[in-house]
């Protein structure tokens, strides 16, 4: 039985909370993070600064940033219980390994059920510190290598690449992953953030809420598919083949990866930021400069064909398109892209949990019953 027009599917258009954390304007192509346009933050502040902005409501002073970096650096190493889970999950998808590992991190909290502001802040720092360590350790274990322990002298982003590759990264590469994490740190009331807030609204703890958020992110309708963008470009092969390729895909009813967004009706502002990040990596840092040049040319062709074949659909470039290029340029495997995204988004999830705990109101929407009525159990 169809849902009545008065009942929005998937809570479309329903305002579920008030937040100071981020605002998405799909018509204007605008993303505001803690009062700042995304372009004011990404590439201009460090990830730890953006996390402080969401957690505390303001960018940190120099001393506050130094203190936060020290605290996070001291928390990066994984406890043995968590490392055992990561090792056991070596053959599972990275996002599954991260979900399982995240759930164990409450074992390392003195009072895991404490949802006071101080406890929430401590848990936020712990999760933000350890997500990159989990993802890097799993990346190495999945290819038969041993994990590399974190270095407290490196910033969070540079340390992540060090733990993945076993060598101190080029500063340009470290700045790229840092800018990427700032770009994806928060994005309105998306599915994983809403999941985290629903869990937090029951007065459940930070680790439980973030574990639930990872479960929501895993779904392909939310976590997206930046990896298949690379497959698409490899199939296209050259700029002169792009138009014929995209027309064939559309004729077959297949989705063009990296284009279209549930909210944005214009170009995703995160795509603009990451396009510049990829360009700034330069030919020395990119593993395949030809792929980037192909992407630039193919993007314009795809946009032209989409507008012609699907007029009015507003299928513009989204964050997945340039995410794929940036992360592959840094030597990361496509299977780890969603888990790497979570390393940036975790700071936003934690901020929403902090905000929801402060509000202390159970999220309990109603549903419209569309089943049968008046059934009886027949007798003799």
Catalytic residue among 49, 249, 299, 320: 320
Range with the lowest mean pLDDT among 134-143, 212-221, 315-324?
Answer: 315-324
pLDDT digits 0-9 by tens, 115-136: 999 999 999 999 999 999 999 9
* Residue 287: pLDDT over 60: no
For 244, residues 6+ apart whose C-beta sits below 8 A from its C-beta are none
Q: What is the pLDDT of residue 10?
A: 72
Place of tokens 């258009």: 13
For 32, residues 6+ apart whose C-beta sits below 8 A from its C-beta are 22, 23, 25, 38
Note if 361 is an active site residue. no
pLDDT band at 346 (very low <50, low <70, confident <90, very high): very high
State the virtual CA torsion across 265, 266, 270, 273 in degrees, nearest 10.
180
State the virtual CA torsion across 16, 10, 223, 86 in degrees, nearest 10.
80
Note if 49 is an active site residue. no
Q: What is the pLDDT of residue 351?
A: 98
Region of residue 183 (left: phi > 0; alpha: psi -120 to 50; beta: else): alpha
* Residue 314: pLDDT over 90: no
**Domains identified in the chain and CATH numbers:** 19-222+346-359 (1.10.580.10), 226-329 (1.10.230.10)
CA triple 131-327-292, angle to 5 deg: 170
Q: What is the pLDDT of residue 319?
A: 84
Q: What is the pLDDT of residue 120?
A: 98
Residue from 268, 295, 255 nearest 184 by CA? 268
Region of residue 165 (left: phi > 0; alpha: psi -120 to 50; beta: else): alpha
- H/E stretch holding 324: helix 319-329
* Residue 276: pLDDT over 90: no
Contact yes or no for 327/226 (Cβ under 8 A): yes
Range with the lowest mean pLDDT among 145-159, 193-207, 254-268, 354-368?
Answer: 254-268
Cα(201)–Cα(146) distance, integer angstroms = 39
Sign of CA dihedral 99, 104, 109, 110: positive
363 or 5: which leads in pLDDT: 363
Determine the average pLDDT of the residues in 311-322: 85
Residue from 348, 341, 278, 285 nearest 20 by CA? 348
Range with the lowest mean pLDDT among 27-31, 187-191, 348-352?
Answer: 27-31
Cα(2)–Cα(66) distance, integer angstroms = 56
Cα(207)–Cα(350) distance, integer angstroms = 9
Q: Would you give the distance in Å from CA 123 to the centre of its chain?
A: 19
* Residue 227: pLDDT over 90: no
Catalytic residue among 52, 138, 187, 261: 261
Determine the average pLDDT of the residues in 343-360: 98
For 171, residues 6+ apart whose C-beta sits below 8 A from its C-beta are 158
Contact yes or no for 352/200 (Cβ under 8 A): yes
Contact yes or no for 124/351 (Cβ under 8 A): yes
Q: Which residues share a beta bridge with 32?
A: 23, 37
* Residue 329: pLDDT over 90: no
Q: What is the pLDDT of residue 196?
A: 98
Length of the chain (residues)? 380
pLDDT, the chain, mean = 91
């Amino acid at each position: 039985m169809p849902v009545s027009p008065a009942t929005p599917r998937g809570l479309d258009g329903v305002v579920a909370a008030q937040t100071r954390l981020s605002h998405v304007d799909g018509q204007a192509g605008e993303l505001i993070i803690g009062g700042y346009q995304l372009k004011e933050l990404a590439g201009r502040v460090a990830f730890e600064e953006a996390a402080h902005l969401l957690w505390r409501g303001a960018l940190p002073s120099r001393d506050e940033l130094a203190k936060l970096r020290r605290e996070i650096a001291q928390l990066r190493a994984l406890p043995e219980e968590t490392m055992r889970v990561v090792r056991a999950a070596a053959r599972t998808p990275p996002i599954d390994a991260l979900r399982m590992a995240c759930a164990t991190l409450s074992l390392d909290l003195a009072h895991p059920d404490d949802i006071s502001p101080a406890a929430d802040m401590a848990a936020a720092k712990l999760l933000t510190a350890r997500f990159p360590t989990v993802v890097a350790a799993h990346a190495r274990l999945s290819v038969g290598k041993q994990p590399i322990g974190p270095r407290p002298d490196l910033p969070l982003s540079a340390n992540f690449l060090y733990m993945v590759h076993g060598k101190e990264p080029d500063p340009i590469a470290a700045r790229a992953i840092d800018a990427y994490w700032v770009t994806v740190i928060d994005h309105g009331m998306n599915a994983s953030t809403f999941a985290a807030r629903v869990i937090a609204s029951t007065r459940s703890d930070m680790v439980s809420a973030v574990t639930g958020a990872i479960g929501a992110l895993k779904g392909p309708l939310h976590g997206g598919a930046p990896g298949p963008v690379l497959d698409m470009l490899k199939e296209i092969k050259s700029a002169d083949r792009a138009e014929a390729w995209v027309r064939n895909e559309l004729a077959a009813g297949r989705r063009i990866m990296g284009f279209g967004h549930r909210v944005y009706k214009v170009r995703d502002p995160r795509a603009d930021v990451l396009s510049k990040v990829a360009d700034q990596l330069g030919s020395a840092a990119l593993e395949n400069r030809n792929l980037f040049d192909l992407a630039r040319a193919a993007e314009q062709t795809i946009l032209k064909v989409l507008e012609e074949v699907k007029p009015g659909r507003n299928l513009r470039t989204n964050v997945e398109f340039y995410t794929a290029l940036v992360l592959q340029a840094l030597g990361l495997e496509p299977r780890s892209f969603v888990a790497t995204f979570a390393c940036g988004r975790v700071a936003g999830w934690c901020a929403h949990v902090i905000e929801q705990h402060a509000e202390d109101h159970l999220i309990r929407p109603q549903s419209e019953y569309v089943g049968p009525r008046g059934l009886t159990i027949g007798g003799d």
